[in-house]
Amino acid sequence: MSKNPPVVTQINQSYKIKSPDGHITVQVEAGDKLRWSVQHKGAPILKPSSVSLQLENGEVLVDHARVKSSEIRNVDRENSL
């Protein structure tokens, strides 16, 4: 009787951030790779691309990143450049 190795799957966690007018959407996915993408009015501007993030404490998130907690908030303000 042969034993099969356990199957390990990584469930991607997906988060969307929308501009106040809803035209721009940034999606971030944490899973086997950390990826982000951008759409304008539903049309892709940046296709899903790998990214790494350096946190304030110096930790770098790249592969197999996991989100420990999240919070949904609505923010409606303008920033001038």
pLDDT tens digits, one per residue of 20-49:
889 999 999 988 889 999 999 999 999 999
Greater confidence, 65 or 79? 65
Whether pLDDT at 11 is above 80: no
pLDDT band for 2, please (50, 70, 90 cuts): low
First to last CA, the chain: 67
pLDDT tens per residue across span 42-57: 999 999 999 998 989 9
And the tokens for 6?
A: 């356990």
pLDDT the model gives residue 62: 86
Three-state SS for 10-64 is: CCCEEEEEECCCCCEEEEEEECCCCEEEEEECCEEEEEEEECCEECCCCCEEECE
Spans of all domains in the chain? 13-52
pLDDT the model gives residue 23: 95
Share of the chain above pLDDT 90, in %: 40
